[in-house]
Amino acid sequence: MKEIKVLGSGCSKCTKTAEAIQKIAEELGVEATVIKETNPQAMLTYKVMSTPAVVIDEKLVHGGSIPHRNQIEKWLTAG
Amino acid sequence: MFKLFTDLADWLTYSVLNLDPASKLGDAVHFFIEDVSKIYVLLIFMIYVIALLRASLKVEKVRDYLAGKHRGLGYLLGSGFGAITPFCSCSSIPVFLGFSSAGIPVGITMAFLMTSPLINEVAVLLLLSLLGWQFTILYMIVGMGVGILCGFFLDQIRAERWLESFAAEALQQARQAPSELNTTATEAEPERLTFSERHHFAKTETLDIFGRVWKWVIIGVGLGAGLHGFVPDGWIETHLGDGQWWSVPAAVLLGIPLYSNATGVIPVMESLIINGLPVGTTLAFCMSTVAASFPEFILLKQVMQWRLLAILFALLLAAFTVVGWIFNGFTPFIQ
């Protein structure tokens, strides 16, 4: 079970990122919870400066853009 | 190169729609078609090419570069980077926090954030093609000047007093331990980008920016076309052409409820200037429309107290008014 957080102040890119991850996780049959984190303090915690950013199991893996499909698949299948 | 768009507009307006070239409506429709088609093509082409070039420029790099710079130089660099660094306005909070937690003074951070909406590469290239290089340079100097001076002023009044406590703490901690520069994990991503990564970035960027600005172009050019065809020739020039002192603050106030990004407002600037509105008044109006927008100010509330937000807002309005007066005052000497 992966815990995935999408950090961002709620702009359209962040929403799209969260939706994409959710969709691909379902397609691959990977169990994952996708949470959208809009609290600015969270960005400070993970030291994120460009949103949307993706945190998987408390580890920052991506920031600044809507991630590529390949990237998302890699994250979901790793580990 | 631009004649193509004039021909297209000629054909659509006079042949397809069968409008009379001498009529007001024909004139307005022609202006609308020519400008919208020209701007759309320019935008798509320019956003893509520029995004390819700047794909590796990241705010994290800017932060690392700005951290530890001398203050005086910091304002200039902060504002300069604001002009060239891509970031979406919804990133202003994380950028603000990231800069603060690297110990960069509030004034330098704000110089970066304020210059960013005013000057961007798309706006600059549109200005160049619609209003010429003199005006473009003027616009850039003024935009950066506003960012630098406001940033300097904010540090003078010790604006960090009015940050929300968690943001103030982050800044405080970084100031006390400047050696520990906080670096982000995203730097683990490869520094060298392949062409296909650049292309992917540029493509997403183009679709994203175009998706956000296309309607502003229609609105902007539509207003311009309205002015072009329907406001009686010379009306603006007779009534506002002398740059009456009150017209500048009035233009700034009018710009507040109107919100557009720099791309959408440039076609409006073009037709205002053609119609004889003085340069200073036009600049004041347009900068106010672009930079003083409520939705983005409300975002900043997450890291600032109301008091600082109000100061910032007043500061911007005052700055735009002064810019307008200065330019109206100098125009007679330039021409």
DSSP assignment of B42-88, as one string? HHHHHHHHHHHHHTT--HHHHHHHHTT--HHHHHHHHHHHHHH----
Q: Does B187 touch chain A (CB under 8 A)?
A: no
Indicate the DSSP class of residue B301: T
Chain A CB contacts of B95 below 8 Å: 49-50
Q: How far apart are CA B211 and CA B36, in angstroms?
A: 15
Three-state SS for chain A is CEEEEEECCCCHHHHHHHHHHHHHHHHHCCCEEEEEECCHHHHHHCCCCCCCEEEECCEEEEECCCCCHHHHHHHHHCC
Q: Which two tokens stand for residue B267?
A: 């076609």
Q: What is the pLDDT of residue B157?
A: 92
A45 classed as catalytic: no
* Band of pLDDT at residue B223, cut at 50, 70 and 90: confident
Contact across the interface for B90 and A49, Cβ inside 8 Å:
no
Higher pLDDT, B94 or B261: B94
Active site residue A63: no
pLDDT, position B228 = 67
pLDDT, tens digit (0-9, with 9 covering 90-100), for B114-160: 888 788 777 787 778 777 888 888 888 988 999 999 999 999 999 98
State how far the Cα of B282 lies from the Cα of B279, in Å rounded to an integer: 5
**Domain enclosing residue A14, as ranges:** 2-77
> Number of structural domains, chain A?
1
B245: left (phi over 0), alpha (psi -120 to 50) or beta: alpha
| Residue B291 scores a pLDDT above 80 | no
- Cβ-in-10-Å burial (0-12, 13-18, 19+) of B1 comes to exposed
CB contact under 8 A, A53 and B186: yes
| Tens of pLDDT, residues B158-168 | 998 999 888 88
- This complex has an ipTM of 0.78
Contact in structure between A53 and B189 (CB atoms under 8 Å)? no
Task: Give me B256's structure tokens.
Answer: 């507040």
Phi, psi of A3 (to 5 degrees): -110, 115
Give B159's DSSP letter: G
Q: What is residue B189's predicted lDDT score, i.e. its pLDDT?
A: 47
Put simply, the answer to whether A51 touches B94 (Cβ < 8 Å) is: yes
Residue B93: predicted pLDDT: 83
Chain centroid to CA B21: 35
Amino acid identity for residue A73 in this structure? E
A24 near B CB under 8 A: no
CB-based contact A47 B185, cutoff 8 Å: yes
Highest mean pLDDT pick, A6-10, B40-44, B182-186, B210-214: B40-44
What secondary structure, in 3-state letters, does B178-191 show?
A: CCCCCCCHHHHCCC
- Find the CB nearest B185 among A7, A60, A66: A60
State which residue of chain A sits closest to B299, comparing Cα positions. A9
Return the closest-CA partner of residue A20 out of A1, A39, A36. Answer: A36
* Structure-model confidence comparison of residues B227 and B20, the more confident one: B20
Chain B closest-CA separation from residue A10 CA (Å) = 8
| A-proximal residues of B, 104-163, CB under 8 Å | none
Reported residue count of chain B is 335
The pLDDT score that the predictor gives to residue B191 is 56
- Tell me if chain B has a CB within 8 Å of the CB of A51: yes
Of residues B64 and B262, the one with the higher pLDDT is B64
Rounded CA-CA distance A55/A13 in Å is 16
What residues are paired with B42 via a beta bridge?
A: none
Closest partner residue to B101 among A44, A51, A65, by Cβ?
Answer: A44
Q: Kindly give the confidence (pLDDT) of every residue in chain A, 79 residues in length, as a single tens digit, with 9 standing for 90 and above.
A: 888 999 887 677 788 889 999 999 999 888 888 988 888 888 888 888 888 889 988 888 888 778 888 888 888 887 6
Neighbours of B251 (CB within 10 A): 26
A60 close to B (CB below 8 A): yes
For residue A59, the domain's CATH number is 3.40.30.10
Catalytic residue among A11, A16, A26, A40: A11
Which pair of tokens denotes residue B28? 């307005």
List the single best residue of A15, A49, A61, A72 to mutate versus B (max B Cβ within 10 A): A49
Confidence at residue B187, expressed as pLDDT on a 0 to 100 scale: 45
SS3 state at B246 = coil
Write down the mean pLDDT value for chain B: 81
pLDDT confidence of residue B335 = 47
pLDDT (mean) for B99-121: 87
Residue B6 pairs with which residues in a beta bridge? none
- The answer, yes or no, to whether residue B32 has pLDDT greater than 60, is yes
Q: Which residues of B touch A13 (CB under 8 A)?
A: 88, 90, 208
Kindly give the residue spans of alpha helices, DSSP state H, lying in chain B. Answer: 3-10, 24-54, 59-66, 71-84, 92-100, 106-118, 121-131, 133-156, 165-176, 195-230, 235-240, 247-255, 262-274, 279-291, 294-300, 306-334
- Segment B247-287, tens digit of pLDDT: 889 888 888 777 666 677 777 888 788 778 888 888 888 88
**Given the residues A4, A7, A14, A34, the one annotated as active site:** A14
Q: Nearest-CA residue of chain B relative to A12? A: B90
Q: Which of B211, B219, B209, B206 is nearest to B264 (CA)?
A: B219
Task: State the Cα angle at B17 between B11 and B21, rounded to 5°.
Answer: 70
Share of chain B above pLDDT 70, in %: 87
- The whole-angstrom separation of Cα B292 and Cα B315 is 10
Question: What pLDDT is recorded for position B155?
Answer: 92
Q: How far is A38 from chain B (nearest CA, A)?
A: 10
pLDDT at position B108, please?
A: 93
Residue in B157, B176, B190 with CA at minimum distance from that of residue B55: B190
